[in-house]
Amino acid sequence: MSSSSPIFCGRCLAPVKLTIDASWVSVIVCPSCGQTDTFSNAFKEADEYAAAYFRGEITNERGQALQNNPLRRFRFVPRYLVDKN
Residues in contact with Zn ion by the rule CB under 5 A: 9, 11-12, 30, 32-33, 35
> Could you tell me where the beta strands, DSSP code E, fall in the chain?
7-9, 17-20, 26-29, 36-38, 76-78
* Complex with Zn ion: residue 25 or 33, whichever CB lies closer: 33
Return all residues near 1 (Cβ < 8 A) that are at least 6 apart: none
Q: What is the smallest separation between the CB atom of 11 and Zn ion, expressed in angstroms?
A: 4
**What is the DSSP-derived secondary structure letter of residue 15?**
B
Shortest distance in whole angstroms from residue 13 CB to Zn ion: 8
Q: Based on CB atoms, which residue is closest to Zn ion, 30 or 46? A: 30
